[in-house]
Chains A and B, each alone.
Chain A
């Protein structure tokens, strides 16, 4: 199963990659770990004429802490996120999310930037990025722009990344005091993708919710913030979780396939949202 022929370009800087993207336009795709793009190319769902390999742009693989924010380069592999001492200490929910992606071989190659830019509707990272209110840095020949996770996922396999742009960094605020988060997924038994995955991040003031953020993946065409759940919990105590979680699938056209009907996915979303919120609260208290 070979991909169709293409011209291969290996670059050593973001600048060179952007220059090639400007030159070839829609004909070019960025290749990072290749664990989303190459399977698409082997199935001929994607047939780019030019591949721009950024695998050697090593500064894009860095994970660092700066001014209370955790900055993860687009080329950081799932394995490096999962095992990073910074991520484990400051964003344990993200390390746990990374550890649930695929298998060790996939995590050794797949990258956070690649996964987010590909926006598979059942990918794990989008749920966590939404709940953690991540900020994506997109670079283009004119400079950089930042896009919030809530504005990033537009539709099936479609993000705010424009032609000619590269997702170079994902930035997260470290979890503060009184805040707990968790990512739970119902794993597809064959693919390892999330049939449904829910990330919940909660901040408590006393015993009541001060801030609730819920990101859901796998349910519909794109990952989304479950705003009706979040609104239902505003100012309430944790006994309101069950009723609020019942809104997790509200207004979403749930995906049906041979493994899970839309109805089942919607039920999974409600159940996993309840569990994730309960566990997130327990983590604040712990």
Chain B
């Protein structure tokens, strides 16, 4: 079945089997392997991407359901060599150890910060409910998102 969509600004048209999950389309057809496959049961959040700006778990969406949408993956966050404030925050605040959950964390945080530019710590933790990290204990992830929120507010004000 023909699938037309935009990933990170690039228009694509691919023939896919209807049962192909969006995460496999992103990784295996679009060759964007920054989006990870974790639990495959919509619990862990490693596969989180944005569809039209909303964070979703791409392991629980058929690729064909994303027809006509705009998808953003972790590869679409930086502008050239300039990291997105969220990526910078994870770097500066040591928001990752093994890094497996990180792309999903960043995409969920991007949805949060688009809706709420100045979230409280509790709001950040609540937004990350659907993203599991087995390394960090979340403390540094929360700090990374606070770093990004502050930086994005400053650059908006400037």
Contact = CB atoms under 8 A, between A and B. Distances in A.
A53 B108 contact: no
A185 to B, nearest CB: 14
A58 B126 CA distance: 29
Interface string A245-262: 000000000000000000
Question: Main SS of the interface on chain B?
Answer: mixed
A4 B20 CA distance: 10
Given A35-B60, A106-B130, A6 B18 contact: yes
Contacts of B54: 79, 108
Contacts of A24: none
B48 A105 contact: yes
B67 A105 contact: no
Contacts of B93: none
Contacts of A1: 40-41, 59
Interface in A94-129: 102-106, 108-109
Nearest to A3: B19
Interface string A113-157: 000000000000000000000000000000000000000000000
B111 interface: yes
Interface in A1-23: 1-8, 10
Nearest to B39: A1
Contacts of B112: 104
How big is the A interface, by class?
20 to 34
B98 interface: no
Contacts of B21: 2
B57 A106 contact: yes
A86 interface: no
Contact of A53 (B40, B55, B65, B129): B65
B45 interface: yes
Interface of A: 1-8, 10, 31, 34-35, 38-39, 42, 51, 53, 55, 79, 102-106, 108-109, 190-192
14 contacts: A2-B21, A5-B17, A5-B18, A31-B62, A34-B61, A35-B60, A38-B60, A42-B40, A53-B65, A105-B45, A108-B51, A108-B54, A108-B56, A109-B57
Interface of B: 1, 17-21, 24, 40-43, 45, 48, 51, 54-57, 59-62, 64-65, 67, 108, 111-112, 127, 129-131
